[in-house]
Amino acid sequence: DAGVIQSPRHEVTEMGQEVTLRCKPISGHDYLFWYRQTMMRGLELLIYFNNNVPIDDSGMPEDRFSAKMPNASFSTLKIQPSEPRDSAVYFCASSGTSRETQYFGPGTRLLVL
Amino acid sequence: SQQGEEDPQALSIQEGENATMNCSYKTSINNLQWYRQNSGRGLVHLILIRSNEREKHSGRLRVTLDTSKKSSSLLITASRAADTASYFCATDAKSSGDKLTFGTGTRLAVRP
């Protein structure tokens, strides 16, 4: 099993640009989670899906952030427009059931200049 | 505020010594999990302990859970340089639906 796949691994962009992060969860997993990790705030849950349906987006910082899961094997997290304070590592994780092990992808390191 | 908070924030030990990290949480839980994160990598699940369990072992890892004190500890025995990483506890709180809440982490450095 390839595990959770994220792309790109690194992204450098300028303030105001649109950023799209991508995630392929482990096949057969029903849950997909998007997290953001910074030194100041630690690991924060942004949004999670169950069977492709967004369940809780209360962690999404503001309207500039949006996430979709058009099918069981693909999800995107979009930031438009991006700002320097969005610089962080963004992780995608998936799990078979919500309360058991979450499998994390390698993360996307985003730098907004 | 964080559901899980680890203590200490950083720990430096010599190879071969034992490392103990603690996690405190605030509300009732279904289970508590420990994860490891190597520098520049994603988190990796280490062990899960359910609320009705008091101790669990996995290789050189030993986890304890005290629900009366709302705390857990992770013991790594006979540490190795490869154990150098950040360790996070994550709680599945009964009040949080499907979400895991991660603590602030303990940075462990094992000196060869």
Nearest to A65 by CA among A103, A26, A34: A34
A45 CB neighbours in chain B (<8 A) are: 99-101
State the amino acid at position A48 in one-letter form.
Y
Residue B8 contacts by C-beta under 8 Å, 6 or more apart in sequence? Answer: B21, B106
Amino acid B94: pLDDT: 77
Using CB atoms, pick whichever of A4, A48, A106 lies closest to residue B99: A48
Amino acid A72: pLDDT: 95
Tokens 């992770």 correspond to B74
Amino acid B3: pLDDT: 57
Would you call B33 an interface residue with chain A, using a CB distance cutoff of 8 Å? yes
pLDDT digits (tens, 9 = 90+) for A47-64: 999 999 999 999 998 899
- Best interface-test mutation with A: which of B94, B99, B101 has the largest number of A CBs within 10 A? B99
Cα(B81)–Cα(A94) distance, integer angstroms: 29
- Mean pLDDT to the nearest integer, B17-28: 94
- Mean pLDDT to the nearest integer, B90-111: 87
pLDDT digits (tens, 9 = 90+) for A60-108: 988 999 999 999 999 999 999 999 999 999 999 999 876 678 999 999 9
Q: Between β-strands B85-93 and B101-102, what pairing exists: parallel, antiparallel or unpaired?
A: antiparallel
Strand partners, B11: B108
Q: Residues 38 to 77 of A: which have CB under 8 A from any B CB? A: 42-43, 45, 48, 50, 55-56
* CB-CB contact of B34 with B106 (8 Å): no
Would you call B59 an interface residue with chain A, using a CB distance cutoff of 8 Å? no
pLDDT digits (tens, 9 = 90+) for A25-34: 999 999 999 9
Query: SS3 for A27?
Result: coil
Alpha carbon B25 to its chain centroid, in Å, reads: 12
| pLDDT > 70? residue B1 | no
User: Is B99–A102 a contact, with Cβ atoms under 8 angstroms apart?
Assistant: no
**Secondary structure string (H, E, C) spanning chain B:** CCCEEEECCEEEEECCCCEEEEEEECCCEEEEEEEEECCCCCEEEEEEEECCCCEEEECCEEEEEECCCCEEEEEECCCCHHHCEEEEEEEEECCCCCCCEECCCEEEEEEC
Cα(A75)–Cα(A105) distance, integer angstroms: 13
Nearest to B34 by CA among B16, B11, B56: B56
pLDDT digits (tens, 9 = 90+) for A2-45: 899 999 999 999 999 999 999 999 999 999 999 999 988 889 99
Residue A103 contacts by C-beta under 8 Å, 6 or more apart in sequence? Answer: A3, A4, A26, A29, A93, A94, A95, B45
